[in-house]
Each structure stands twice: as structure tokens, then as C-alpha cells.
Amino acid sequence: MSVLGVNFRRDMEIRRYPVLVYALLPLAALVLQAWLPRVVGPYVWFDLPLVVTVYFALGRRNPVQGTIMGASMGLLEDALSHHAIGVNGVAKTVVGFVAASVGVRIDVENHTIRLILNFLLSLLSSAIFVFTYRVLLGLDLEWRWFTELLRAVGNSLIAMVLFPLLDRLQIKES
Amino acid sequence: MESFFTRYRNLIVLLTILLVQIVGLAVQVRRTDEGRATYEPKDPPGVRLIRLWGEALVAPPERGIQGTKMAVIGVWRNYLDLVHVREQNQDLQKTIDRLRLEQASLLEDARQGERLQELLDFQHRYIYSTLAAQAIGSSGSDQSRVFYLDKGSNNGLRPDMAVITADGIVGKVRDVFPSTAQVLLVNDQTSGAGVILETTRIRGILTGNASGQLEVVRVSADERIKAGEKVLTAGGDLVFPRGLPVGEVEKVARDPDRDGLIDVIVKPAAHLDRLDEVLVITNTAPRFSPEEQQDLATSEVVMGDDATAIKDQLKASQIMAERLPGLIDPNLPPEQQPLLDTSNPNPVSHPPQALRPDRFTPGNAPGTMPESGDSSKPDGAETPKTVTPTTGTKPKAAGPQTARPRTGAPQAAAPAIAKPEREPQ
């Protein structure tokens, strides 16, 4: 239970990063997400803006910031697509809020938990996307859950590698 | 109240942001007359502003990355990877010479086709000018198959321009920004293009499916459609000129929603997943470009004698057509013209009627005349006798089988071997 519970002072710490990291990391995620599909072809089994949203939401442990972060990333993703603005925005808003809320309650330093969280939040994002697109807007959209499953796995693997690297960028309290 | 907002601050912020986005979504979608939901054809101003922000944020780094990539590739290809270039150059030069001759020959045919289309008042538009552009980025989502070009409205791009490569069609310009443009790929689910199967001449609408495959949807089941058949643009969608390669038939699948209809899966001719350089068709015109006209002039010089012979042949065929019997009988009133007679699929023109009919008049052969009661028969005229010939020579028919009797009396069954006793003097 010590893994899941917030029993340690360390778990309650709010992570802080240099301003440049806040500015450049989301931008880099958006740019790479837009550019990498041209390299990997049809195998777009990752969602870097989602991974970054989850990382900051878990680290900051602030639902409002997580919500705003998710909304911003989602809206910018929508802006690059030809879909209606807000489809990804709604999905990532909810994901940011949930990630930050979860981060308050459990220990997110553990790699296994990060892996599972990214997997589940990716699926949640896909589910909200489909719900918004097909139910809320009533638009036609073919859907393949297997691809979404692969994307969730891809996001988890990327998070497993990326999160420890990003942890090194945080400001250490002396 | 303050404690309420403080206590539920997180939830209120979440619901507010969600509500704003959902209202924004509702503005962008409308219902058609058939009750289907669809996007507004044009983005509202606020939506376009967000798209501009997104493009302005992401396009410059993408342009930098793409520029760096192309520079590295350029250095490698132009200065380092030059093995066998001389041999390739010679082969290419030979190919160019051969293609020039072929092109000159084909352009002559094409121009003749264009003249005929003008005669038929059919306007077929040819690709007149194109603009080369680099693909610098994508939407990043397989649910939105769009990519961005490094050229925009400043370079003359406009929405709905066709985007192609040398291999085949790619998509159409969907949205244009000052220095970039968004291209909707043909394999997106919301895309659509009119296509025609090259051999079977079956037309259909090309779109994409969830897997990013191209498919011609809702085609009537036809056994003639086989894998490998080429698919071309049909030219009726006002985006792609006619005859551009799209791909080839990969397989045929039954339409899951409609009985008797099939979906034709098409393997794209262009590499839609990995595009670097594309051509945007910026102008089409019903005439050839100056370069093509120059080639045409060259072809006329090269093939001068042949062209003259073809023209002579055309003239000769026109003269022959004028001399051949037509379907208009100058001796019949307009309402009885055989051309208007729909009962006979093969109308035959009739010989003019004789002013003074006799037994040699077609239809009045001996034995074909009624024996009595013919009021039109001249008074005192003898009825010719029918004599069975004693010789074995085959008699000639008395007249055309379609010849009608001069009178309104029913025509007697004519003996097949009727022949006059002696030849007329």
C-alpha cells in the first residue's frame, strides 16, 4: 500500500520546472507529433501531446493546471487537423483533470504505475474522442479499437523512457 | 458562496472549459436536409483564428526540421552518393529522346481529340500550370489525414486545388494560410473524388476508410472488376482533371451496409504516407500550355507528311459521306421520311414512283397485279398471263421486296418464278 498511498512528504511535493521547459516541451511534442508521421508512415501509434499532458498533470498535482494544460494541447492538436476544434480538446481536458486528480492520491514515482496510468488515460482519451465525435456531434467516423490499443501501448512505452529523462529537468530544492 | 467556489473550484473550472468547448463544437457542425451531421463548409472566424495560431506555432519549427532534412539529403545525394551517376545519366538521356518522340506523336492525337471535343462542345480542362511544394508536416493523427505544404496564399494557392505527384493524385488543398497550406489526402474518410476504372469504365466515388485505404464505395457488383485494373480520375468533381492515375484495384469487398453493392479497394499510385515533394495544379485550361504547343509544332515538323496524309484522308471521307445515300427521301413529305419511321430499324429508301407505271414497274410484275377489281388498272388493258418457264434459268425477282402496290388493294401472293414472256422492246 505504501506504493499507492501518499504517506510520504516526498509524494506531496509539487514539481517545478524552468519556464523554458513549460514552453518548449509542449511545443516540441506538438511539432514532433506533426512531423514524425511523415517518417514512420501509417504507424502513428503514439500521442506525444497526451504523454506530455499526463506528465505535467501528474507532476504538478493541480487539477486546474492539468485541465488547462490538456485543453490547450488538445485545441492545438485540433487546430492542425481538419476536424472541428474541440474534439481533442474535450478529450485531453478530461485526461488532464483526471491525471492531476490521481496524482494527488497515489504515488506517481513508480514506473509501473506511470506505465499503467498512461495506458488507461490513453484509452480514456480515445473513448472520449469517439464519444464526442460520434455521439455528441453525430458525425460519421470509422473506428478501430485495436489501433487505439496499440496507441495506448505506444504512449506507455514512450512515457516509461521519457518521464525519467524529464524528471532530471525539474528544479531541485536545496 | 465563496466557500462553495473554493471547495469545488477544480470541478467548476473543468465544467466551464468543457462547456465552452462543447458550445464551440456545436457552432462548427450543422445538420443537412437529410438529417446527417456535417461540418460547416467554411470555418467560423473564431475557429479559423485558432487554426492560424496552431499553424503559426508549429509550422516554423516544422519548416526548420524539413529544411535541415532536405539539406542533409541534398548534400548526400549531390556530393557524396554519386556512384554510377554517369551511366544513369546516359540511360536517362536515351529515355528522354525516346519519350520526346512518343510525346510528339501523342500530342498530335491529343490535339485532334481536343478539336473533336470542341466540336461536341465538350470542355475538357488540361493541366496548365503547377507549383512544386514541400510537405513539411501533418496533423499527427490518423483520424485526420492532412498534411501541410510550405507554400500558401502568398504563392497563389487557393482551396480546392488538386495536389498530385508524378505517380498519381494525392489530395486537394483544404485550407490556405499565408505561407502554408493544408492538404486533405484522398485516403481520408471525409475525402471524395470522382474516379473511373480504366478497362470496365465503371465510375464511382473514391474515399478513404479507417485504415487509410482508398476505396471506391457503393459500386454495383460487377464480375469484370479484377485486381490490377487501373483507376483514373473521372474529372467530374471539379478538383482533379480527368485521366490522372489514382492507383490500381487491390481487391473487391462486399458493402456491409448495402446488398448488391461492393467496395473496390484501391492501392494508391502515389506514396501517400511518405510525401516530400508534390505538385499543386494552380491552373487548368482548355488549351495546351505553351510548352506543349511548342512540342506540338515540333511534332508537326517531324510528322509533316503524315499529318498531311491524315488531313487528306479526312477530306476524302467527308466527300464519301456526302455521296453515300442518306436517310432523307426528297420525294416523300417530311412526316413520311424513313428517318422518322421508328417501326423499321433499318429503313430503306424507296425508288421514285413512275409517272406511267407498266408491268416493268417495281411491284407491278406479272402475277403480282390483282386479277380483277383493280380500279387503277387502265381501261382495256390486258391482264398479263403467267407462264411457267420451261427453262431452268433462275428468274429475277419482280421488284424490291419492300415495294408497295400502287393501289390500296391487298397484294396477291406473287409466284416466285413469274417472268414476262418477252423482253420489252
The CATH code of the domain that includes B273 is 2.40.10.340
Whether residue B414 is predicted with pLDDT greater than 50 in this model: the reply is no
Q: Is B184 inside a domain boundary?
A: yes
Q: Is B385 inside a domain boundary?
A: no
Write out pLDDT tens, residues B150-177. Answer: 999 999 999 999 999 988 999 999 999 9
Q: Is B19 inside a domain boundary?
A: no
Contact A117, A160 (CB under 8 A): no
Q: Is B346 inside a domain boundary?
A: no
- Nearest CA of chain B to the CA of A96: how many Å? 10
3-class secondary structure per residue, A117-142: HHHHHHHHHHHHHHHHHHHHCCCCCC
Mean pLDDT of B209-229: 87
B352 vs B149: which has the higher pLDDT: B149
In this predicted structure, what is the pLDDT of residue B12? 94
> Across the interface, which of A34, A68, A71 has its CB nearest the CB of B137?
A34
| Residue of chain A whose alpha carbon sits nearest to that of B209 | A142
Q: Is B260 inside a domain boundary?
A: yes
In this predicted structure, what is the pLDDT of residue A89? 95
| Residue of chain B whose alpha carbon sits nearest to that of A73 | B54
Q: Is B230 inside a domain boundary?
A: yes
Alpha helix ranges (H) inside B8-84 = 9-28, 45-75
In this predicted structure, what is the pLDDT of residue B303? 57
Q: Indicate the helix (H) or strand (E) that contains B263.
A: strand B261-268
Return the half-sphere exposure (C-beta side, CA atoms, 13 A cut-off) of residue B40.
14
Mean pLDDT of A18-30: 92
Residues on chain B touching A30 (C-beta within 8 angstroms): 57-58, 140
Confidence of residue B308 (pLDDT cuts 50, 70, 90): low
A71 vs B355: which has the higher pLDDT: A71
In this predicted structure, what is the pLDDT of residue B100? 83
Q: Is B146 inside a domain boundary?
A: yes
Q: Percent of chain B, pLDDT > 90?
A: 29
Average pLDDT, chain B: 75
The Cα angle at residue B66 between residues B210 and B176, in degrees rounded to 5? 65
Write out pLDDT tens, residues A138-155. Answer: 888 877 889 899 999 999
Whether residue B87 is predicted with pLDDT greater than 70 in this model: the reply is yes
Write out pLDDT tens, residues B379-412. Answer: 444 444 443 343 334 444 433 343 333 333 334 3
Write out pLDDT tens, residues B188-202. Answer: 988 999 999 998 899
The region of weakest confidence among A61-65, B339-343, B368-372, B392-396 is B392-396
| Residue of chain A whose alpha carbon sits nearest to that of B65 | A35
Q: Is B213 inside a domain boundary?
A: yes
Alpha helix ranges (H) inside B285-336 = 290-302, 304-323
8-state DSSP, A54: H
Q: Percent of chain A, pLDDT > 90?
A: 55
In angstroms, the Cα distances linking A138 to A50, A133, B29, B39, B297 are: 24, 6, 9, 11, 57
Residues 88-107 of A with CB under 8 A from B: 88-90, 93-94, 97, 101
- Which residue, B339, B318, B316, B335, is CA-closest to B327? B339
In this predicted structure, what is the pLDDT of residue B324? 55
Average pLDDT, chain A: 87
- Beta-strand runs (E) in chain A: none
In this predicted structure, what is the pLDDT of residue B268? 94
**What are the residues facing B162 on neighbouring strands?**
B172
Residues 117-176 of B with CB under 8 A from A: 135-144, 146-148, 174-175
Distance, CA of B271 to CA of B144 (rounded, Å) = 17
- Cβ A84–B37 below 8 Å, yes or no? no
Contact B338, B347 (CB under 8 A): yes
- Nearest CA of chain A to the CA of B241: how many Å? 24
Mean pLDDT of B62-70: 90
What range defines the domain where residue B246 resides? 49-82+123-288
Confidence of residue B342 (pLDDT cuts 50, 70, 90): low
Whether residue A64 is predicted with pLDDT greater than 70 in this model: the reply is yes
- Which residue, A118, A155, A86, A46, is CA-closest to B23? A86
Residues 7-26 of B with CB under 8 A from A: 9-10, 13-14, 17-18, 21-22, 24-25
Domain count for chain B:
1
